[in-house]
Amino acid sequence: MPRFAQLVIGPAGSGKSTYCSTMLQHLGSMNRSAQVVNLDPAAEHFDYPVMADIRELIQVDDVMEDPSLRFGPNGGLVFCMEYFANNFDWLGESLGHVEDDYILFDCPGQIELYTHLPVMKQLVEQLQQWEFRVCGVFLVDSQFMVETFKFISGVMAALSAMVVLEIPQINIMTKMDLLSPKAKKEIEKYLDPDMYSMMEDTSDNIRSKKFKKLTKAICGLIDDYSMVRFMPFDRTDEEGMNMVLQSIDFSIQYGEDLEFKEPKEVDDDSADLNYDEIFQGKGDT
């Protein structure tokens, strides 16, 4: 039986740890068991209980303080993640092997992890070897998406993670509760964007003709292949959270392996059938 994982990724401060904590509570309220693993070696605080914490393996502060390494915060994080990639056994032991486990991985925010460094792809491959079905959940702060050129950059960042990780990916705009009513209305056009018409809007923002042509080509590519869509995530809106969860579950086929009971063979002449009992297997005596 498979296990299921959400790899919660996205730029620094986009709301990954808050998402994990909110989603964990949401799953709990649906009586679904789930757990969170912190994979951010620089995490200072988060308000969810952890199943495993990478800081037990390595911490950024220790790396930065090491006189033989002399890393700054970003180099330190890259070092930690490479160390992690060489020690996946630690994660394997922490996860154990419980069938049907549903785990949220709270990842660090350094964007280079999702552009050119191999560690997140290695993690995905390792999880797949452990029979996890993995979905990338890419978060972007909605406040940085209300202008066309910012939106296009956000789309490119999401796309970069998709290309690197090669797993199903659900893209989410976070912190919707912080938007003004005007901005909320404005953002609707970015949730299911028509990139071609967006390109027309943006002409004033892109000053160089050369870049306008490039942006137009990128917009066309994204639109033609329906490559990137965003879903809103408002932690105060249960209904919206459900829709996000359903999309994620669908992408990793969560629930499809739940045991199905064959309906019992019935004689034509049997009267007073209780179909509920038959289908639930309770008709057996």
Ligand X SMILES: Nc1nc2c(ncn2[C@@H]2O[C@H](COP(=O)(O)OP(=O)(O)OP(=O)(O)O)[C@@H](O)[C@H]2O)c(=O)[nH]1
- In the complex, the residues that contact ligand X under the rule CB under 6 A are 12-18, 40, 109, 174-175, 177-178, 235
Q: Select from ligand X, Mg ion, none the partner in contact with residue 235, using the beta carbon and a kind-dependent cut-off of 5 to 8 Å.
A: ligand X
- Select 10 or 193, whichever has its Cβ closest to ligand X: 10
User: Which residues, numbered 37-96, are part of the site for Mg ion (CB under 5 A)?
Assistant: none
| DSSP annotation of 10 | -
Kind and range of the H or E run holding 57: none
Nearest to 231 by CA among 221, 218, 220, 245: 245
- Select 16 or 235, whichever has its Cβ closest to Mg ion: 16
What is the x/- site pattern for Mg ion, positions 14-43, by CB under 5 A?
--xx--------------------------
Q: Smallest distance from the beta carbon of 173 to ligand X, in angstroms? A: 10
Nearest to 235 by CA among 23, 31, 12: 23
Nearest to 246 by CA among 15, 16, 30: 30
Q: Select from Mg ion, ligand X, none the partner in contact with residue 55, using the beta carbon and a kind-dependent cut-off of 5 to 8 Å.
A: none
- By Cβ distance, which residue is nearest to Mg ion? 17
Which residues are bridge partners to 133 per DSSP? Answer: 4
Q: Smallest distance from the beta carbon of 74 to ligand X, in angstroms? A: 12
Q: Please list, in sequence order, all residues whose beta carbon lies within 8 angstroms of the beta carbon of residue 183, skipping any fewer than 6 positions away.
A: 143, 146
User: How many other C-beta atoms are found inside a 10 Å radius of the C-beta of residue 61?
Assistant: 13
- Select 111 or 218, whichever has its Cβ closest to ligand X: 111
Per-residue tokens: 274: 């209780």
- Select 48 or 254, whichever has its Cβ closest to ligand X: 48
